[in-house]
Structure 1
Amino acid sequence: MTEQILILDFGSQYTQLIARRVRELDVYCEIHPYNHIPDLSPNVKGIILSGSPCSVRDADSPRIDLDQYRKQVPILGVCYGAQMLAQMLGGDVMPSQHREYGRAKLEIGDTDSSLLAGLSETSQVWMSHADTIVRIPENFRIIASTESVEVAAFKIENELTYGIQFHPEVTHSTEGKQLLHNFVVGICGCRQDWTSESFVETTIQGLRTRLGEDKVVMALSGGVDSTVAATLVHRAIGTNLYCIFVDNGLLRKGEFEQVLHSYQDMGLNIKGVDAKAQFYTALAGLEEPEAKRKAIGKAFIEVFDHEAHLIQDVKWLGQGTIYPDVIESVSVKGPSATIKSHHNVGGLPDFMKLKVVEPLNTLFKDEVRAVGRAMGITNSILNRHPFPGPGLGIRILGDITPEKVAILQEVDAIFINGLKKHELYDEVWQAGAMLLPVQSVGVMGDERTYERVVALRAVTSVDGMTADWAHLPYTFLAEVSNEIINRVKGVNRVVYDISSKPPATIEWE
């Protein structure tokens, strides 16, 4: 049974970051909302209480009874988690005289503390809170302070329960990883044996047991998640996995043939389906972004369902769901407001009546790539930029026609190939081109033109939740712009998108 750290989420923006830092220590952890806590199984070696945007002084602030966990397993309260521990056990938490936000120097008061072992005497930490613990209960002991915060870290006597009023998970806390190592490995005693290789081995064994001789059908997109998920299932059940790759007419230039060839080289049992005409018919006359997304999603389900029914006795649907999707669906505040339908169209339709297998639903994106590398999947797939499920359908603003798709495919190919040629592709998170519903006046030779405008978009990001526009060299942009205008008939103007997310999204629709 895999050892794990349980992270209880009180709504902090940093909760996923805590999980990522713990996993960087080769220790498995799971995030659960404070109001949906699973039973404490023997494999749980410790609990971390996250921060929160709430104040423990508010009557309706989130809180839990920790008596059932204290002395059973070590506990670490981070920021709000520490304040909740102090207040619920008899201490006082009051508004800070001034908001404590930013870097601070941690002065260690207990050099024998297991939690602070190996930290320098004045370690830099990151504060982000509006409340402060001003009085601790009698059985608490202060183990570290800062210039403005007396109770920066504490331990409860005679138990392995700790609290800190700073964030060790952010890079601004320069020795935060050491502190988390002290808690997770030193205090909780985790073995650090949760690696990509061990994940591959245990997942394949688990899939073999779970799936047996059953058949699984899975839609592939050429992206990282679906490819890694399919490879795991394939290694477990071989040709009983049936993969379907749909050409919706909205892929990049040559992508259908290239991806299909890559999958066949990997030994996957895959069928390519040319459904361009069906998608173009479904999209005819639609201009509103959400209407286009829904039409693409509906057409995909129809095509996929038809192909799945051609396979006898299929019992499972394989999906490339990853952990952030799972966390979001059961978050403290429920699913986030819908900004737009999800990029990855083609979820499980009710009428298919298949059981779902999601071998990656405990992994973050970077962990998915690491697992892919452990299985020998090529970098050309693992390092691919994210590409939306609706494809070029949401990069063509306005209605979709085969002519517009052909124009944008050529523009996109020049841009992406240029990034690769100039070794810029791996420096950006995502890049692509948008065809705008705008025409502009231009001059080519001695003739006046009135042709289309395209926008190039490239962003840098860690996880796609926030993004900055990529500061590509002017010389590169000039070269690409010139090549697009000279080679793509119907385009006479190229612009570059320099907006960040937020407020703008990465895609235009």
Structure 2
Amino acid sequence: MIKEITLQELDTERFIAEKVRGIRETVGDGIAINALSGGVDSSTVTLLGHRALGNRLRTVFIENGLMREGEAAQVAGWFRELGVTVDVVEARDEFFAALAGIADPEEKREAITQTFYRDVFGRIVKESGARYLLQGTILTDIDETIAGIKRQHNVFEQLGIDPQDAFGYRIIEPLIELRKDGVRAVGKALGLPSEVFTRIPFPGPALSARVIGAVTPERIETVRKATAVVERMLGNTGAFQYLAILHEDRVTGMRDGKRDFGLQIEVRCWDSVDARVAEPTQVPFDTLKTLALEIIRAVPGVVSVTYNIAPKPPSTIEAI
């Protein structure tokens, strides 16, 4: 049973000191690898690891083809300013091959998990000689996985899976007692710039978690374009998270006076503290109307834009 450290209980400096010491003791004089996605969890654990290990921690960004536009260059640039070198590892073909023909949400998550941990990281760890992977699992990831709500790709031991046996390396999870608000506080204390520690959450399976049905490069590109519009236009709402989802079925629309079977984008925008419960943000209707028109203009093939107004629970923040 993991004991939660709430934001009210959290002493960031003591927490950082304890986790730095723990990482050093675990890794010893060896080296470790960590994956940086640019989200607050992975960014915070990256700085914790580099404070503990210095150049004995190799930080990589996995280019899986499922990220936002220009994400790799942007994230590498942020961390270059912080004195951390980020190696971008090209793996797009591997991830799209693993996802080919899969529509079921849990099968998608499993395909991404195996490709990430067994294939891509297994290769990186073997080539580097590292015996440890440092990652930013948080308590909400554990809760949702154990409860059967959705399998988070970064949860193993709580499901009885030994990463050493499954993948050939151990996993260190220094943030596992925290929720998102606590992670933000630790990231701020470590020196992350506000544009990183206040960044909205982004799912581990990336944009594949926002494509209902089969994942292809073309469908990912559609939701990527819609995501760019949503994040640009809802960025000043103060919401906890906002996102675009591509639905599976085509819907009837009209274009140039003729029927057009087109794509449907669902927009979600949430007010929450730690993602356990959430309420749809009351975005002004005029803003939603402008947002819909901009998505239709910017994303080829879209004829319908909807806004989710169901709370969590029974909804969840991400669609799948």
Counterpart contact for 1:213–1:237, Cα < 8 Å: no
Q: Secondary structure at 1:409's aligned position in 2? A: helix
Does structure 1 residue 507 correspond to structure 2 residue 292?
no
How far did 1:380 drift?
Answer: 1.5
Counterpart contact for 1:461–1:468, Cα < 8 Å: yes
Moved more, 485-494 or 354-363: 354-363
What per-residue deviation string (whole Å, max 9, x for no partner) do you get for residues 75-97 of structure 1?
xxxxxxxxxxxxxxxxxxxxxxx
Counterpart contact for 1:287–1:397, Cα < 8 Å: yes
How far did 1:225 drift?
Answer: 1.5
Higher relative contact order (CA 8 A, sep 6+): 2
- Partner in structure 1 of residue 204 of structure 2: 389
Q: Secondary structure at 2:200's aligned position in 1? A: coil
Q: Which residue, 225, 234, 241 being the options, matches 1:419?
A: 234
Q: Secondary structure at 2:131's aligned position in 1? A: strand
How far did 1:365 drift?
Answer: 2.6
The aligned runs of 1:325-404 (5 Å cut-off) are 328=143, 336-344=146-154, 348=163, 350-404=165-219
Task: Give distance in 2, aligned partners of 1:246 and 1:380.
Answer: 21
How far did 1:207 drift?
Answer: 3.7
Q: Which residue, 305, 308, 313 being the options, matches 2:125?
A: 308
CA RMSD of aligned residues (A): 2.6
How far did 1:446 drift?
Answer: 4.0
Structure label with greater radius of gyration: 1
How far did 1:202 drift?
Answer: 4.3
TM-score, normalised relative to structure 1: 0.57
Q: Secondary structure at 1:310's aligned position in 2? A: helix
What per-residue deviation string (whole Å, max 9, x for no partner) do you get for residues 352-399 of structure 1?
443433332343332221121112101111111111111121211111
What per-residue deviation string (whole Å, max 9, x for no partner) do you get for residues 459-496 of structure 1?
11121111111111111111111111112111111111
The aligned runs of 1:255-334 (5 Å cut-off) are 255-301=71-117, 302-312=119-129, 314-323=130-139, 328=143
Counterpart contact for 2:112–2:153, Cα < 8 Å: no
What per-residue deviation string (whole Å, max 9, x for no partner) do you get for residues 27-79 of structure 1?
56xxxxxxxxxxxxxxxxxxxxxxxxxxxxxxxxxxxxxxxxxxxxxxxxxxx
- Partner in structure 2 of residue 253 of structure 1: 69
Counterpart contact for 2:113–2:153, Cα < 8 Å: no
Q: Structure 1 stretches (4+) deviating beyond 6 angstroms?
A: none
Q: Secondary structure at 1:406's aligned position in 2? A: helix
Q: Secondary structure at 1:278's aligned position in 2? A: helix
Task: Give distance in 1, aligned partners of 2:76 and 2:165.
Answer: 28
Task: Give distance in 2, aligned partners of 1:433 and 1:499.
Answer: 15
Counterpart contact for 1:218–1:317, Cα < 8 Å: yes
Does structure 1 residue 461 correspond to structure 2 residue 272?
yes
The aligned runs of 1:407-446 (5 Å cut-off) are 407-420=222-235, 423-424=236-237, 427-446=238-257
Q: Secondary structure at 1:434's aligned position in 2? A: strand
Counterpart contact for 2:213–2:248, Cα < 8 Å: yes
Give identity over the alignment, percent: 36
- Give the aligned residue type for 1:404: R
Q: Secondary structure at 2:184's aligned position in 1? A: helix
- Give the aligned residue type for 2:218: E
Counterpart contact for 2:140–2:275, Cα < 8 Å: no
Counterpart contact for 1:300–1:346, Cα < 8 Å: no
- Give the aligned residue type for 1:471: Q
The aligned runs of 1:59-138 (5 Å cut-off) are none
Counterpart contact for 2:247–2:266, Cα < 8 Å: yes
Task: Give distance in 1, aligned partners of 2:200 and 2:278.
Answer: 14
Q: 5+ residue gaps in structure 1?
A: 1-7, 10-14, 29-194, 330-334
